[in-house]
Amino acid sequence: MTQDELKTLVGQAALHYVEPGSIVGVGTGSTVNKFIDALASMKDRIAGAVSSSVASTERLQALGIKVFDAAEVDELAVYIDGADEIDHAGYMIKGGGAALTREKIVAAQSRKFVCIADESKLVQTLGNFPLPVEVIPMAAQRITRQFAALGGVAALRLKEGVPLVTDNGQHILDVTGLKITDPLGFETQVNQWPGVVTVGVFAFQKANVCLLGAPGGVKTMV
Ligand code: 5RP
């Protein structure tokens, strides 16, 4: 099975976690795109979605799924999203698609986080994938030095040769060279640095369930 087929498999499997009549929290990325496509098959049985990015909003709306603003909704039963890395405790690195801030906001609004990923995303320790950090541009240089003090190398993410600008109008640093052995402690520490909008470690908003696509089928990890 190709990686794309594994993504389709977990995208479809995630439909089992969608409560009829509810508003669904929807993440961002190529795996979530498979979920959105599958969700279209039950669009008449859900009230709609809260989306974590402009890209997911456009895809949902194109398929006829109503998108609510997060501020219009109190609590969501379930949030479905992918990950760049996930460990056996459900802690994740996210933000490869630059949507980490809104992803964390919608995840925090949801009772259950269902992560969908192909099995290549499962790791023992977080940190091989460059850690995305959304930052206020004027703080980027100082935050780069703070990561250097932890042994990390931060690089400004570019798109077509210029700094990528997120949906929130900010920049992304991708940090290599870190081994994140204490995800909760690390997230707490980096969150306190002035100018950090969101760090891509999802420890406080970890996955409650992970559907991992493998050649033998979907493995459920809780
Ligand atoms: C976007 C994310 C994505 O969930 C993550 O990058 C995984 O993406 P994909 O499903 O394309 O591998 O965090 O900000």
Give the 3-state DSSP-derived string for the chain, with helices as H, strands as E and coil as C. CCHHHHHHHHHHHHHHHCCCCCEEEECCCHHHHHHHHHHHHHHHHCCEEEECCHHHHHHHHHCCCCEECHHHCCCEEEEEECCCEECCCCCEECCCCCCHHHHHHHHHCEEEEEEEEEHHHECCCECCCCEEEEECHHHHHHHHHHHHHCCCEEEECEECCEECCCCCCCEEEEEECCCECCHHHHHHHHHCCCCEEEECEECCCCCCEEEEEECCEEEEEC
- Which one of 8, 10, 30 would you pick to mutate in the ligand 1 pocket, going by the greatest count of ligand atoms within 8 A of its CB? 30
Separation of CA 141 and ligand 1 centre (Å): 26
- Which one of 9, 28, 128 would you pick to mutate in the ligand 1 pocket, going by the greatest count of ligand atoms within 8 A of its CB? 28
Question: Are the CB atoms for 206 and 200 separated by under 8 Å?
Answer: no
Question: Are the CB atoms for 84 and 46 separated by under 8 Å?
Answer: no
Q: Which of 103, 119, 160, 187 is catalytic?
A: 103
Q: Quick one: which atom of ligand 1 is closest to the CA of 32?
A: 10
- Pick out the residues of the known binding site for substrate: 28-31, 81-84, 94-97, 121
- Pick out the residues of the known binding site: 28-31, 81-84, 94-97, 121
pLDDT tens across the length of the chain (222 residues): 999 999 999 999 999 999 999 999 999 999 999 999 999 999 999 999 999 999 999 999 999 999 999 999 999 999 999 999 999 999 999 999 999 999 999 999 999 999 999 999 999 999 999 999 999 999 999 999 999 999 999 999 999 999 999 999 999 999 999 999 999 999 999 999 999 999 999 999 999 999 999 999 999 998
Amino acid, res. 33: N
Ligand 1, atom 10, residue with closest C-alpha: 31
pTM summary value: 0.97
Annotated active-site residue 103? The verdict is yes
